[in-house]
Structure 1
Amino acid sequence: GNFEGIELLDKLWIDGGNLSQYEPGSLKLIKKINHMIINIRNTSVFSTIVRDLLHSVVWLEVREIMFSIPAEMQLLRVMSSSFADKVSFKQALLTDSTVPEIVSILEDMPKLVEVEMTDCRLLGTGRWKTQMQANQSQTLRVLTIEKLSIEKFYLFTDLQTVEGLLSLLTKVTVENTKVFLVPCRLSRHLLSLEYLDLSANLLGDQSLEHSACQGGWPSLQILNLSQNSLSDFEMTGKSLSHLRSLIVLDISQNNFGEIPDACEWPKTLKHLNLSSTQIPKLTTCIPSTLEVLDVSANNLKEFGLQLPFLRELYLAKNQLKTLPGAAPIPNLVAMSVRRNKLNSFSREEFESFKKMELLDASDNNYICSCEFLSFIHHQAGIGQVLVGWPDKYVCDSPLAVRGVRVGAVHLSLMECHRSLVVSLICALVFLVILVLVAVGYKYHAVWYLRMTWAWLQAKRKPKRAPAKDICYDAFVSYSENDSDWVENIMVRELEQACPPFRLCLHKRDFVPGKWIVDNIIDSIEKSHKTLFVLSEHFVQSEWCKYELDFSHFRLFDENNDAAILVLLEPIQSKAIPKRFCKLRKIMNTKTYLEWPLEEEQQELFWFNLKIALKS
């Protein structure tokens, strides 16, 4: 190919599995290649291409090459002159016999800082005959091994032959490689190691104690032991307690279960990841020096640890129903309570975290109550604090707004202040009733209701009782205050007349135990006439009103002369209640008998009254 004029390439990938020839110098014109990927199985062609790129490649990645024949390794010796910073092997094949050669080549590379091996295979048990020692000028600092397949890993040796190469390494990753033990001697040779990742391996409590022995990993600051076989939380802390520089520890995805109340940890520990470790409840075993704590996915129902230096807290995928209290964690800056059982949180809870900058409370089932919505809508700058706002905050209830984003919901006044609205309605109804009662009292509504009932009762009966049922000549309606005149003068005069008149008096003739209104109605209907003794007392008497009311409905409506009015004393027209409009009319249009005070005129009065009763 012709690469003339190309001086800089970010990435060059040569995938030539069947490539058998290469014209030397074709790539030599390129001055710099940031990432070079070579997938060539022919070692001779591979060697020629690398020779052209000795000074231009920054990161050399070798794929699907077989380092299985020691004789072919001489062709690869050209790599030792490469100025690459990083070398990666992917899907390569190594053997016990070729590993020392590869190490030797990598040692001689003048600028090599990082070596990476991904998805490679090693045929052997680590019995390398040559003792490998680091050169004084060795620049290698980072070693990464991911998914290295060692078929007989359980027979692998203690790696004494490579101990001399380890003292200058600062960052080592051995991930998903079935590591079950790091020999103590090897750990003690990792003098400069600051970062160690042993995740997704087979380390147990006993093997960790041996691997992190006294004097091992003396400079270690970051340790990842996630997804191993650890189960004793207290023993894990004790095994690592001597690491005086340890700051970050990841022991997530181990199966610890319940943890004790007291543990021993490195005093420098600030970051601890305990996510997915089956811990049902947190105790004071958690070190109080922490600045970052991750206890996600542990089925926790509460959090109340006293962690005065904590700045970040991750509680996602637990069972919390409320936000943790702010008092035990006063310096918290960021918190995640995503995917818990949070229904809401109040302004007081939110504002109690004085230094909070980020809160991830997304993916919870929020009850969009009026109080919660009022807080959300009126809290200044809440959108900058809530992570995932507004898309990840959705109402679960009320049913009418389920699935709607919290920020988009606005409940009505009735929904928000139901008790207040109900109270106001009740007060209004009570006020209306009070007004109606007052108006009814003023305009005699009760009287009209009572008389309507009496009238309906009377309407059910025949308008005129049969002759055989007539018992009295007259029913006398009078006020109790006028009883002396009625009972001692009128009754004596009429009942002792010749022939005598039969009068019906309520005191004497009403049926005991019978409703008084029924007594009045029956007495009027069983009498030829109804004799009203009118006076100032009469129009003020409640029962006289009933008697007069019935006559008002029954007798006056029939337009007959069954009613006889006797005026015992002069009555002003205005003294008669306005509701008795027909009585007023009758008194204005018909003649009534007036009781005279002069004795000589009383004979005429009695004569006229007897004539009226007989008519």
Structure 2
Amino acid sequence: MGPLTSIYVFTCAFLFILWNNIQPTVENEITANYSGHLLTEVPKNIPVHTHILDLSHNRISELSALEFISLPDLQVLNLSHNLITELDFRVFTFNQDLEYLDLSHNNIWKAYCQMLARLRHLDLSFNKFTVLPICQEFGIMFHLEYLGLSAMMIRRSDFRYVTHLQLNTVFLTLEDFSLYEPLSLTALNTRSLHIVFAANQNFNFSLLYDGMRTSESLKIVNLRYNSSHRDFPFPSLDLLKKTKVTELMLDTVDLEWTVILEIFLLAWYSPVEHFTVRNLIFRGRVVKLTEYKLVSLSSSLEQLISSGVSMKALTLEHVRNKMYYFNQEILYRQFSEMNIDSLTIHDACMPHMLCPKRASLFRYLNFSRNALTDELFQNCDTLADLKLLILRRNKFQSLSKVSFMTRHMKSLKYLDMSNNLLRNGGAKERCHWTDSLAELDLSSNQLTESVFECLPVNISRLDLQNNQIASVPKGIAELNSLKELNLASNRLADLPGCRAFVGLQILNIERNLILTPSADFFESCPSVKELQAGQNPFKCSCELQDFLHLERQSGGKLSGWPEAYVCQYPEDLSGTQLKDFHLTELACNTTLLLVTALLLTLVLVAVVAFLCIYLDVPWYVRMLWQWTQTKRRAWHDSPEERESGLQFHAFISYSERDSLWVKNELIPNLEKGEGCIRLCQHERNFIPGKSIVENIINCIEKSYRSIFVLSPNFVQSEWCHYELYFAHHKLFSENSNSLILILLEPIPSYVIPARYHKLKALMAKRTYLEWPKERSKHALFWANLRAAISIKLPTSFETNEEQSDVASTSSITQHLIK
């Protein structure tokens, strides 16, 4: 170590100690995320106790020890996707806890090494190194598990410092690759090897062969080879015996079909158990294959089929054919005859697959996203061991033919027919499923409710979501083994019953057309443990109340509650969660509402009746009616009387028991002398032939004042009450001041009946004259009374003596009863 290096290390150590002494220790942040902030340098304000620091996707071009010296607790550092060109590991000298360091996707072409003893993950991939940046210090990173590297060339000596390390994963990016020294990769000791080759160059197959000898799991991206088949470097038989790969994945493959066959043979003869090829394009260099080549191709595939191999699973995904006039039957036949457990051909535009000629070992077949039709595996009895069959996203149309396809598959447990064009032909269509089928996926098809007439009897899990089912018909065959049923995204208007599904435990009926779910669901489905009924257009009304009670009693069986259960109707409640929707029992129970209304009506009638009786309302109504009738008759029968105007100064109302005082005191004192007062008295002024009420009303109407002689006897007289009522009515109808009250004797308030509330009001509000007991005060009393009723009557009026004489006849004596 040179003097400059010693000075640099000493300076960094001094600054590190100084920073720890001045930096506050109260911060608790352990994660700092500065990703995508367009930073050009490491921030200065990073919390001192940060454990995880993300500086990815920025524009940082240089690193300095001063930027990380203040982060002694740093464990994870992500500097990927920046513009770093040179890397000096000494900037992390004081980050001794660093375990994860990602410097991928930069422009690093030169590195200066320094040991990071605790490092487990180091990624230098997708950089500009010419040779692998593996220095001597890497050899003592005994905790290292993941190592990502990039280079333009690989030599056998490049791995000499890490051959003794037990690595879990090595990731190599080989862009602009120019040189590979054979057997270089075999120096590695890793369980998994991932190689990304240059996208625009011919692949070096030595990497494939050496990789298969190096690791148990090998993944290679970008296999392109445009040279002739004759130039293809087929491996030696000795090399095949030394391979130890068990999982092989080839991604983004563009090769001639003959080269692909060679790779298939290589994998077939090797210990590979799981072989996956993704994004495969196979092509030919000639327009039409000769008969010789077809025979040669068939012979090679026969070797591939008949050999004893360890391969268990073959997966082909996203396959495209650029070979023209290709005899596809040969390809289908060879795939169908493979003696492996699992075969996947996904997204290959494959229109058909042949039935194996002999008993097949297939247990798993996945032909999803192809162009298969109803003719697949019809009358095929060689797939007796098949347990899982996935045929989603194809072109199947007949559910009946699908059922007949399975009838010889005695071990089939799971069938996926989702995202096809399946229709059911109704009750006339016969179905014959294998008895072993337990799980069936028919989602995203065009099935209607008649699908329940064509289902496996032993099915335990059934997926019918996203179809056109409007109801679950009654009378269908019982599916006693069914445990889980998915009817989401259909057209159901209510929860289905469990008459045919007595053992149902899970039901999904989300995204249907249910407005008011039935409240007796759990009673008809006692085995159900989970109901998913959210995201329906619920109508928040009285009918929904029973369902809400059901939720409270279900004990958590309603999945997604309450977020997925929202009112959609009526509009004023749209968006309201069902748990927040409440109506009273009275508003929703019609019987209770009617009973309550009836009781309230009866109570109201009783109260009104009581008040009417207590306040003598019928009496007032009767009097008002008589007043109206009298006025009407007077209007039609006596127009001349209407025009006569006032005829009396006052009308006297009194009890018969007080008549002596009226006749001996009141009348003589008012009618004698000058300016005599003309009084209307029933005994002399009532007109024979008219009713008493009419006479009372007429007398009050023709009198300027109404004098009421009040005493305990007065309040006991009903006719006095009539006279008071009509006089009071005139008071308010004519807005006059016509009432004069004379208190002959004191009247205690408790003596006045309840119906005399007008008398109580008058005595409380109006001034009355009280008859004095002292004789000396009588003159003043009469003077005041005369003054109160003083008025000049019309001069044209002449007293009718005959009317006064007739009033004393016996026809008026009925009124004197009072």
Q: TM-score band (shorter)?
A: 0.7 to 0.9
Residue 219 (str. 1) matches residue 385 (str. 2)? yes
Q: Distance in 2 between matches of 1:54 and 1:354?
A: 60
> Is the alpha carbon distance of 1:35 and 1:281 closer, same or farther for their aligned partners in structure 2, counting shifts above 3 Å?
farther
Residue in structure 1 matching 2:722, options 527, 541, 546: 546
Considering Cα pairs closer than 8 Å and 6+ residues apart, tell me whether 1 or 2 has the greater RCO.
Answer: 1
Match of 1:260 among 426, 442, 453: 426
Give the aligned partner of residue 51 of structure 1.
210
1:191 paired with 2:365, answer: no
Q: Secondary structure at the match of 1:92?
A: strand
For 2:332 and 2:537, how far apart are their aligned partners in 1? 58
Matched residue, 1:127: 294
Work out whether 1:108 is the aligned partner of 2:269.
Answer: yes
- Asked if residue 280 in structure 1 is aligned to residue 448 in structure 2, the reply is yes
Q: Which residue of the partner structure matches residue 371 of structure 2?
A: 202
Give the AA of the match of 2:697.
I
**Rounded Cα–Cα distance in structure 1 between residues aligned with 2:325 and 2:561:** 51
Q: 2-side partners of 1:577 and 1:333: how far apart? A: 77
8 A Cα contact 2:254 2:280, kept in partner: yes
Within-5 A mapping of 1:342-491: 342-345=514-517, 348-369=520-541, 371=545, 374-375=548-549, 378-379=552-553, 381-382=555-556, 385-397=557-569, 399=571, 401-407=573-579, 409=580, 411=582, 413=584, 427=599, 431=603, 434-444=606-616, 447=619, 468=644
CA contact (8 A) 1:89 1:116 kept: yes
Query: Over the residues paired in the alignment, what is the CA RMSD in angstroms?
Result: 5.0
1:66 aligns with 2:232: no
Residues 464, 487 of structure 2: 8 Å contact kept = yes
Letter in 2 for 1:101: E
3-state SS in 2 of match to 1:143: strand
Equivalent in the alignment of 2:170:
12
Query: CA shift at 1:17, angstroms?
Result: 3.4
Cα contact 2:216–2:247 (8 A) shared by 1: no
Deviations 1:65-107 (A, max 9, x none): 3375324432656577421112122221232322332222112
Q: Judging changes above 3 Å, is the alpha-carbon distance between structure 1 residues 473 and 359 closer, same or farther for their aligned structure 2 residues?
A: closer
SS of equivalent residue, structure 1 residue 522: helix
| Structure 2 residue 474 is the aligned partner of structure 1 residue 316 | no
Contact 1:317/1:337 (8 A) holds in 2: yes
**2:192 corresponding residue in structure 1:** 34
- Preserved contact between residue 219 and residue 251 of structure 2 (Cα < 8 Å): no
Match of 2:437 among 269, 290, 296: 269
Provide the rounded CA distance (Å) in 1 between the counterparts of 2:173 and 2:705. Answer: 131
* Contact 1:476 1:504 survives alignment (8 Å): no
Distance (whole Å) between structure 2 residues aligned to residue 197 and residue 28 of structure 1: 35
Number of matched pairs = 547
Shift of 1:401: 4.7
CA displacement at 1:311 relative to structure 2: 0.8
Match of 2:510 among 313, 321, 338: 338
Alpha-carbon distance in structure 1 between the residues aligned to 2:460 and 2:643: 110
Do structure 1's residue 522 and structure 2's residue 691 form an aligned pair? no
Deviation (angstroms), 1:413:
4.6
Q: C-alpha separation between the residues in 2 aligned to 1:467 and 1:406? A: 76
Distance 1:380 1:213 in 2: 48
What's the offset of the Cα at 1:310? Answer: 0.4
Contact conserved, 1:365 with 1:394, CA < 8 A, in 2?
A: yes
Q: Which residue of 1 aligns with 2:400?
A: 234
Change (3 A) 1:476 1:128: farther
State the shift of 1:22 in Å: 4.1
1:145 matches 2:316 = yes
1:386 offset after TM fit, Å?
3.6
**CA offsets 1:460-513 (integer angstroms, 9 cap, x no match):** x9xxx899457899999999xxxxxxxxxxxxxxxxxxxxx9966576135xxx
1:89 counterpart SS class:
strand
Contact 2:318 2:346 in 1 (8 A): yes
Give the structure 2 partner of residue 84 of structure 1. Answer: 245
Distance in 2 separating the partners of 1:81 and 1:586? 140
TM-score, length of structure 2 as denominator length: 0.56
**Structure 1 residue identity aligned to 2:256:** T
Q: Render the CA deviation track for 1:384-409: whole Å, top value 9, x for unaligned.
A: x34334433323245555324434x1
In structure 2, the residue corresponding to 1:214 is in which secondary structure? coil
Provide the residue aligned with 1:493 in structure 2.
Answer: none
Looking at structure 2, the residues matched to 434 and 76 of structure 1 have their Cα atoms a distance apart, in angstroms, of 110
SS in 1 for 2:264: helix
Deviations along 1:532-586, one digit per CA (max 9) or x if unpaired, are 9x9x99988866742454357769974789x9x9xxxxxxx99986736799x99
Query: Is it true that 1:307 corresponds to 2:479 in the alignment?
Result: yes
- Deviation per CA, 1:342-362, whole angstroms, max 9, x where unpaired? 234455313543332333222
2:112 is matched with none
Q: What percentage of aligned pairs have identical amino acids?
A: 25
| Cα distance change of structure 1 residues 76 and 88 upon mapping to structure 2, 3 Å threshold | farther
Read off the aligned partner of 2:423 and give its amino acid letter: G
Secondary structure of the residue aligned to 1:158 is helix
**Alignment equivalent of 2:466, drawn from 297, 300, 308:** 297
- Mapped partners of 1:162, 1:530: distance in 2: 127
TM-score, structure 1 normalization = 0.72
SS of alignment partner, residue 265 of structure 2: helix
SS at match of 2:194: strand
Partners of 1:23 and 1:34 in 2: CA distance: 20
Aligned-pair CA distance for 1:169: 1.0
Distance 1:524 1:312 in 2: 93
Verify the 8 A CA contact 1:344 1:366 in the aligned structure 2.
yes
Q: SS of 1:243's equivalent?
A: coil
Contact kept, 8 Å, 2:211 with 2:218, in 1: the verdict is no
User: 1:197 corresponds to which letter in structure 2?
Assistant: N
Contact residue 97 and residue 128 of structure 1 kept, 8 A: no
Mind listing any 5+ residue stretches in structure 1 that lack a counterpart?
480-500, 511-515, 566-572, 592-605, 611-615
Question: Residue 148 of structure 1: CA displacement?
Answer: 0.9
Deviations 1:47-82 (A, max 9, x none): 157526614332433433337532443265657742
Taking a change above 3 Å as real, the CA distance of residues 296 and 68 of structure 1, as seen in their structure-2 partners, is: farther
Larger CA deviation: 251-260 vs 291-300? 251-260
User: Conserved in 1, the CA contact under 8 Å of 2:706 and 2:739?
Assistant: no
Q: Report if aligned partners of 2:586, 2:593 keep a CA contact under 8 Å in 1.
A: no
What is the letter of the counterpart of residue 549 of structure 2?
A: F
**What is residue 595 of structure 1 aligned with on the other side?**
none
Once the two structures are superposed, what CA deviation does each residue of 1:206-250 show, in whole Å capped at 9, x if it has no partner? x32xx4433332321221222222222222222332222222222
Amino acid at match of 2:443: S
Change over 3 Å in CA distance of 1:577–1:71 after alignment to 2: closer
Amino acid at match of 1:434: A
CA contact (8 A) 2:378 2:404 kept: no
CA distance in 1, matches of 2:348, 2:560: 37
Cα distance, 1:27 vs. partner? 4.9
CA contact (8 A) 1:296 1:314 kept: yes
Q: How far 1:146 moved relative to its partner?
A: 1.4
Query: For 1:268, what is the secondary structure of its paired residue?
Result: coil
Inter-partner Cα distance in structure 2 for 1:18 and 1:202: 39
Distance 1:16 1:231 in 2: 48
